[in-house]
Amino acid sequence: MFPTPWRCERETGAIATAITEIKEDAWVAIDYTEDGIAEVAETTYKEKRLVVRRTRLVGIQEKLWPDWRHFGFLTDLDGTAVELDAFHRDHARVELAIKDLKEGAGMDHVPSGHFFANSAWLCCAVLAHDLVRWCAFLGGIVDKDELTVTRTLRTRYFSVPARLVNRSGIPRLRGPDKWPWAGTFVKALGKLRLLDLAPG
């Protein structure tokens, strides 16, 4: 059974009490972002296993949000709290990818009342979504473990504010001088051009 997620900061009463009863030495540090720290522990809630991750900012922004924020889920899966937290976060990434497919690749609606037309639409949307993600990864725009947001990539790199001009028989892409993503675009284009073609 998949874990049932919820954010502890939205809960009150018994759940908050269960979290406060977790002993300080029970928290285990895990890898997190550069500007934050995170720890994982577990307890029980209504005879069910409650895994909790607490996060806190560090550095300059620590003064703005100095307190721990708690996120938790109930689960009946086997494994340590750290392993289950990692599984839950990976599962959340899948859900974010599905959300991105809906919002960024045209699956927020289907255009027809006919099943086969919508099936073709789904295939085209998934193909476009995968091409965007592969271009971003192979072009070095995003890291392998970084979430690729289609709308952001389309706005910054695919909807290029430029025009194709011909200089001495050589096509060139001419864009604005102060386009903020020009450097990243040129590097990504260079990497993609160096890729070997798939065998025919």
pLDDT in tens, 137-195: 899 888 766 677 888 888 888 887 788 898 888 888 888 878 888 888 889 989 998 98
Return the pLDDT at 3: 47
Nearest alpha carbon to residue 9 among 49, 74, 45, 54: 54
The pair of three-digit structure tokens given for residue 171, joined into one six-digit string: 């096509």
Q: What DSSP line would sit under 168-186, residue for residue?
A: TTEEEEE--TT-TTHHHHH
Burial class (CB in 10 A: 0-12, 13-18, 19+), 33: exposed
Q: How far apart are the first and last CA of the chain?
A: 43
Average pLDDT of the residues in 103-111: 74
Kindly tell me if the per-residue pLDDT of 9 is higher than 60: no
Q: Which residues, including other chains, have CB under 8 Å from residue 181's CB and lie 6 or more apart?
A: 156, 157
pLDDT recorded at residue 12: 58
Indicate the range of 38-47, 50-59, 93-102 predicted with least confidence: 93-102
Q: Which residue has the higher pLDDT, 83 or 35?
A: 83
Nearest CA to 73 out of 150, 122, 1 is that of: 1
